[in-house]
Chains A and B, each alone.
Chain A
Amino acid sequence: MTEHIAIVGGGTGGTVLANTLAEKLDAELAAGVVEITLFNDGKDHVYKPVWLYVAFGQREPADGRRPLREVVDDRITIRQDYVVDVDHERKELELVEAIDPAPYDKLVVATGAQLEPERVPGLAEGGHHFYGDDGAQALRDELLAMDGGHIVLSVVGTPHMCPAAPLEFTFMVDDWLRERGRRDAFDITYTYPIMRVHGNEHIADWADPRLRARDIAIETMFNAEAVDPEAETIVSMEGTNLDYDLLVAIPPHTGSDFVESAGLGDGGWVDVDKHTLEATGFDDVYAIGDAAQTGVPKAGSAAHYQANVVAQRVASEVRGQPATAVYGGKTVCFIETGMDDATFVEFDYERPPEPSEPTRAMHWSKLAYNESYWLTALGLL
């Protein structure tokens, strides 16, 4: 009898998992006792970190997009469809396009995060962002059209993809303007929802003096309540009002509707055991990446390491062995501190991030990683 492994979502987590399982279960796949299906709602795999560079004209959206079939092992079946619900009793996935439900014995949810700017009145109309092909290109065009003015980077939504990205954009736009001799014509303000410039105090302690040294104004305790696109103002729940000429916002994020309809968690985020990545209260269901409520950043590196853990666990279970692999919270992030410098952090559930002095070499390491990402997706790095 064939055992069906279903992976929902073809982002970093789902793709690394599929490719790693293809290697681990090579014999079982060849014998036909295991079948692995990757469900994705589009035909492409998207490498999202490219978007930050699109905003500065250094990359094109196509640089971060390849057909999913090109990055997924041939032993994996790809189905382009929307998974809308799970019948946990019958172990079946309900699909939009297909009439018949898809059976599963092991299910891994890797549905990621989506933007929901509509949750803040006026934000969709008045704000720009760099979390998507269209958004990053519109922001690039707007930046190039400006002669001067007030740029406000506001972290509106939490949690959001890549917690380092707001700082990266702010450091980069400052440096980008300096390199062009235009910095004096601009004011830059960075807003953050709590009493420091980043949720993690180690990152905040590192970033705060660097922002101030570059004459970047800081507004902490700023939780955006509404944006007035006509007046070009953003007001916070705490009563602070800021005028802007360009608002670059980190919009509110949400998980997949499917997670909620399947009863796996609230807000589209799956409740999981932070170490085993098993969905709370459900047998044979895992979640990885942005969709999993683990307490680590919604970042590709976390999704990658989680995919490796779940691949080991699922392979063990398929063979009737105890699953022993656990996720320790490992995350690595490059943090751009300008157009030519970057730092790097590595941390987990026990060890906090400790950013080091930015270097040019680390910036080039990040760019090199961006180029070699496709090997990561293939499970080779």
Chain B
Amino acid sequence: MTTRQNHTEADTTVDARGATCPGPLMDLISEVRAVNIGTVIALLTDTEKSPTEVQEWADESGNEVLDVVDEGDHYRIHVKKR
């Protein structure tokens, strides 16, 4: 996983900041199901574990985390559907 300044352009954004239940990763999976292969999704999340969990899920499901950007009060995680 890389954390760096980001210039990735997302096709769609999932704003899961403040998501309590079932949480940001579930919101992301819902969007992954809905979009076409190749789509880049930006997940906005203020859950501390999200970068780790999204990476773990992406590895398992065959999707790709392009980058993780620390925006200060939240993360912006770009995921490409494979």
- CB of B72 within 8 Å of the partner chain: no
- Give Cα A302 to B29, complex, Å: 22
Q: Which residues of A are in contact with B by a Cβ distance under 8 Å? A: 119, 157-159, 163, 193-195, 198-201, 203, 221, 223, 237-238, 252, 267, 274, 293-297, 329, 331, 347-349, 352-353
Are B34 and A193 closer than 8 Å at their CB atoms? no
Task: From known contacts A158-B29, A159-B26, A221-B61, infer whether A194 and B21 are also in contact, taking CB-CB under 8 Å.
Answer: no
Are B53 and A194 closer than 8 Å at their CB atoms? yes
Q: Is the interface of A mostly helix, strand, loop or mixed?
A: loop
Residues of B within 8 A of A200 (CB): 20-23
B70 to chain A, nearest CB (A): 20
A/B pair count, beta carbons within 8 Å: 78
Residues of B within 8 A of A201 (CB): 23, 49
Q: Which of B15, B22, B62 contacts A159 (CB 8 A)?
A: B22
B12 to chain A, nearest CB (A): 8
Are A295 and B19 closer than 8 Å at their CB atoms? yes
- CB of B56 within 8 Å of the partner chain: yes
Question: How big is the B interface, by class?
Answer: 20 to 34
Are A331 and B49 closer than 8 Å at their CB atoms? no
Q: Which residues of B are in contact with A by a Cβ distance under 8 Å? A: 15-23, 25-27, 29-30, 33-34, 49, 53, 56-57, 60-62
- Give Cα A221 to B60, complex, Å: 7
Are A198 and B49 closer than 8 Å at their CB atoms? no
Residues of A within 8 A of B15 (CB): 293
Are B22 and A195 closer than 8 Å at their CB atoms? no
- Residue of A at shortest CB range from B60? A221
Residues of A within 8 A of B29 (CB): 158, 193-194, 223
Residues of B within 8 A of A347 (CB): 20-21
Are A237 and B61 closer than 8 Å at their CB atoms? yes
A48 to chain B, nearest CB (A): 17
Are B22 and A349 closer than 8 Å at their CB atoms? no
- Give Cα A353 to B20, complex, Å: 9
Are A353 and B61 closer than 8 Å at their CB atoms? no
Residues of B within 8 A of A274 (CB): 18
Q: A119-B33, A238-B60, A352-B20 are in contact. List 15 more A-B contacts (CB 8 A).
A: A159-B30, A163-B21, A193-B26, A201-B23, A238-B62, A252-B33, A274-B18, A293-B15, A294-B18, A295-B17, A329-B20, A331-B20, A347-B21, A349-B20, A353-B21
